[in-house]
A and B are shown apart, each in its own frame.
Chain A
Amino acid sequence: MRAGRIESVSPSILLLPGKKGCRESLRPAGNLQGSLKVRVVVVDSDVISLNGIFAGAILHRLQIMRARRGLGLAGGRVESAGRLKDMDKLPFENRTALITGSSRGIGRSIALSFARHGADIVVNHHRQGGSSEAGAKQLCDEVRALGRRAFVVRADISVKDSVKGLFEETKREFDRLDFLILNAARAPFKPIERLLERELRQLVETNYLGNIFCIQAALPLLEKTQGKIVFISSLGSRFYNPAYPLGSMKAAMESVVRDTAESLGGRGISVNGVCAGIVKTDSFKVLRQYMEEIDRMPEGLFVEPEEVADVVMFLCSPAGRGIRGQTLVVDRGLSNSLYRSVAVK
C-alpha cells in the first residue's frame, strides 16, 4: 500500500482512495457520535486501512457520505475486528451490475444483493411473457424500491446480435458497467448420449458461446471501470450428476474463467467464478426428479441463493481483489466429505 501523509487520528486511521492530499472529516453516526473523532486524509492509494474498535461503523458511515457527494468508493479493506461485518456492508454506490438470467433464482438474489449494496442493476431474461418476464419486472420494481436504478433487457445470450443489443442498451442507460455476472443457463435434463444434435448445439450456444459473447461485448465497458466478471457454476462441473449435460459446459466455463483471468487481468479486469452446491431454485424442481430421494438430504446441506450472492459480493468487493481465475465452491461442505453421519442436520 502506498500511503501519503496521515493526519491525526486516534483511535482510527483511514487511508482512502481519491485525490492526494484532500481532507475529509467524519462524524460517526448514531451512538458513536461524540465518542470518537476521526479526521481523514485521502491518499493516493487503492487501499483503505482502518484500525480501531469502531472500524465497521466508521467505514460504513464514510462510504455513505462519500457516495452522497458523488465520490463513490473505489474500494476498501478493513483491518480490524468485525471484518466480515464490514465486508457485508461494502457499498457499490454509483456502480452498475448486469446479471444475465436474473428474473429468478440465484440471478435474482445476486441482483437484489448488488442493489442492497448500492449498485444500479441491469436485469436480463430471455423468454417473452409468462413468469420470466413478470419476474424480471418485479425484480426491477424491488430494486427501484431500494432506491437504485434498474431496467430490464430481454435478450437471448446465445445470439450474438441479441448480446450486442444487451450491452448497447446498458451503455445507453447507465453509460458504465462495473460487474458482469454470467448466471444465465439453459439445458435439457438428459443423459449426454441421448442428446439430439439440436439439443447439443443449443447446450453449447447458450452455456458456452453465449457467456463468451457476453464477455466480448462487455469488454469496452469493463475496461473503463476496471470491472469484474463472475461466472456462476455448479457442482455438476466436477461431479457426476444424473442427466445433467450442463455440467460439461460449466466445466468448460470454469476453464474460461482461468483463461480470461490471465488474458484480461492485464487490462484491469478480474475474472472469477462461484460454484454453487444444491440450491432450491426452480431448477431444483427438475433436479429432484433425476436425483432419487434428494429431498431426504439433510436440510443443512442445501445452499440458499443468498449464500451464493454473498460470495459474489465478496469477489466484487475490494476484499476479493487478490483472487484471480478461481472458482470458489459454495456448497456448505457437500463436496468436501466422503463420509457423513446420518445425524448431520
Chain B
Amino acid sequence: MKQSIIPEEKVVEEVNKAIVEGLDIKEGSVAPDSSLIRDLGAESLDFLDINYRLEQTFGIKLARHSILEHMEEMFGEESAIDENGRLTEKAAAMLRRRFGDGGASLEPGMDIDEVPAIVTVRSIVDGVLHVLDSLPDKCTSCGASAWTPEDGSRIKCGSCGEYAVFTNGDDLVREWLQEMQEEEKIF
C-alpha cells in the first residue's frame, strides 16, 4: 500500500540531514537534483553511510546492492556490464526506466564507474519512499490495522506497540526488475 503516515516532506528532511551529516557538508548545499558523487563529493562508502543513517531513522532496510548487480544476478553475467566493464544497451534501457529524467545521461558503452553519478538526492528520497510504501496493511504481530507514527519517522502498531516491518530494498528492486522484464522483455 502507499503509506501516508510518514509524509514525503519528512523523508526529504531526513534524507537531506543524512547527506549533510554523512558527507560533512554545509546545510543548504543539498538540492533535489544534486548528484551525490558529481556535486556533493560522495564516494561508494558514503552511500552506505547515508543509507545506514536513513535505516536507523526510519527502521527500514534499503538496498545493499546496486540495480546493476541485481540485473546480472537475475538475467545473467555480462547482461548489464560487458567484459570491458561498460554498460550494456539493455541495462541502459532498464536504468532509464528506473531513473526517468535523472537517467537521461545514461548511454550504452559508458564506464560503469560513471553510472553511480546519476544518483541524486531525489533518487535517495524515492528509494526510502519505495521501502516505506511496502508497509503491510496489518501489523504482522497482532493483525491490527492501527499504524501510528512515532517521533515523526518510525511507524509502530497502535495496538501492540510493535514496529512495522517493511520489505527490504533489495527485494523491492528485484520485484521491480521482474515486473519490468515481464512487461517489456528487455533482457
Q: Is the CB of B52 within 8 A of A289?
A: yes
Return the contact of B72 from the options A130, A189, A196, A282 (Cβ within 8 A).
A196
Within residues 257 to 281 of chain A, which ones have a CB less than 8 A from any CB in chain B? none
Q: Is the CB of A194 within 8 A of B73?
A: yes
Q: Is the CB of B77 within 8 A of A286?
A: no
Interface residues in B, total, Cβ within 8 A: 15
Q: Is the interface of A mostly helix, strand, loop or mixed?
A: helix
Does A132 count as interface, using CB distance less than 8 angstroms?
Answer: yes
Which residues of the partner chain A approach B69 to less than 8 Å between Cβ atoms? 196
Q: Is the CB of A130 within 8 A of B41?
A: yes
Q: Is the CB of B64 within 8 A of A189?
A: yes
Does B49 count as interface, using CB distance less than 8 angstroms?
Answer: yes
Q: A190-B65, A196-B73 are in contact. Are A282 and B52 (CB under 8 A)?
A: no
Q: Is the CB of B77 within 8 A of A285?
A: no
Q: Is the interface of B mostly helix, strand, loop or mixed?
A: helix
Q: A190-B65, A283-B45 are in contact. Are A289 and B73 (CB under 8 A)?
A: no
Chain A interface size, under 10 / 10 to 19 / 20 to 34 / 35 or more: 10 to 19
| Minimum CB distance partner of A287 in chain B | B48
Which residues of the partner chain B approach A127 to less than 8 Å between Cβ atoms? 43
As a 0/1 sequence over residues 282 to 297 of chain A, the CB contacts with chain B under 8 angstroms (1 = contact) are 1101101110000000
Q: Is the CB of A131 within 8 A of B81?
A: no
Which residues of the partner chain B approach A196 to less than 8 Å between Cβ atoms? 69, 72-73, 77
Distance of A7 from chain B, by nearest CB (Å): 59
As a 0/1 sequence over residues 43 to 58 of chain B, the CB contacts with chain A under 8 angstroms (1 = contact) are 1010011011001000
Within residues 49 to 107 of chain B, which ones have a CB less than 8 A from any CB in chain A? 49, 51-52, 55, 64-65, 69, 72-73, 77, 81
CA gap between A282 and B49 in the complex, in Å: 9
Return the contact of B48 from the options A131, A132, A285 (Cβ within 8 A).
A285
Which residues of the partner chain B approach A299 to less than 8 Å between Cβ atoms? none
Distance of B49 from chain A, by nearest CB (Å): 5
CA gap between A194 and B70 in the complex, in Å: 10
Q: A130-B41, A132-B43, A189-B64 are in contact. Are A286 and B73 (CB under 8 A)?
A: no
Within residues 183 to 213 of chain A, which ones have a CB less than 8 A from any CB in chain B? 189-190, 194, 196-198
Which residues of the partner chain A approach B49 to less than 8 Å between Cβ atoms? 285
Q: Is the CB of A285 within 8 A of B72?
A: no
Q: Is the CB of A289 within 8 A of B64?
A: yes
Q: Is the CB of B43 within 8 A of A131?
A: yes
Return the contact of A198 from the options B41, B48, B77 (Cβ within 8 A).
B77
Return the contact of B45 from the options A194, A197, A282 (Cβ within 8 A).
A282
Distance of A287 from chain B, by nearest CB (Å): 10
Q: Is the CB of B43 within 8 A of A285?
A: no
Q: Is the CB of B65 within 8 A of A289?
A: no
| Minimum CB distance partner of B50 in chain A | A285
Which residues of the partner chain B approach A288 to less than 8 Å between Cβ atoms? 52
CA gap between A189 and B173 in the complex, in Å: 18
| Minimum CB distance partner of A286 in chain B | B48
Q: Is the CB of A286 within 8 A of B41?
A: no
Return the contact of A197 from the options B52, B65, B77 (Cβ within 8 A).
B77
CA gap between A198 and B80 in the complex, in Å: 12
B binding-site residues for A, Cβ under 8 Å: 41, 43, 45, 48-49, 51-52, 55, 64-65, 69, 72-73, 77, 81
What are 16 pairs between A and B in contact, CB < 8 Å? A127-B43, A130-B41, A132-B43, A190-B65, A194-B73, A196-B69, A196-B72, A197-B77, A198-B81, A282-B45, A285-B45, A285-B52, A286-B45, A288-B52, A289-B52, A290-B64
Known A285-B49, A289-B48, A290-B64; further 17 A-B contacts with Cβ < 8 A: A130-B41, A131-B41, A131-B43, A132-B43, A190-B65, A194-B73, A196-B69, A196-B77, A198-B77, A282-B45, A285-B45, A285-B52, A286-B45, A286-B48, A288-B52, A289-B52, A289-B55
A binding-site residues for B, Cβ under 8 Å: 127, 130-132, 189-190, 194, 196-198, 282-283, 285-286, 288-290
Q: Which 4 A-B pairs have the closest CB atoms?
A: A285-B49, A282-B45, A285-B48, A130-B43
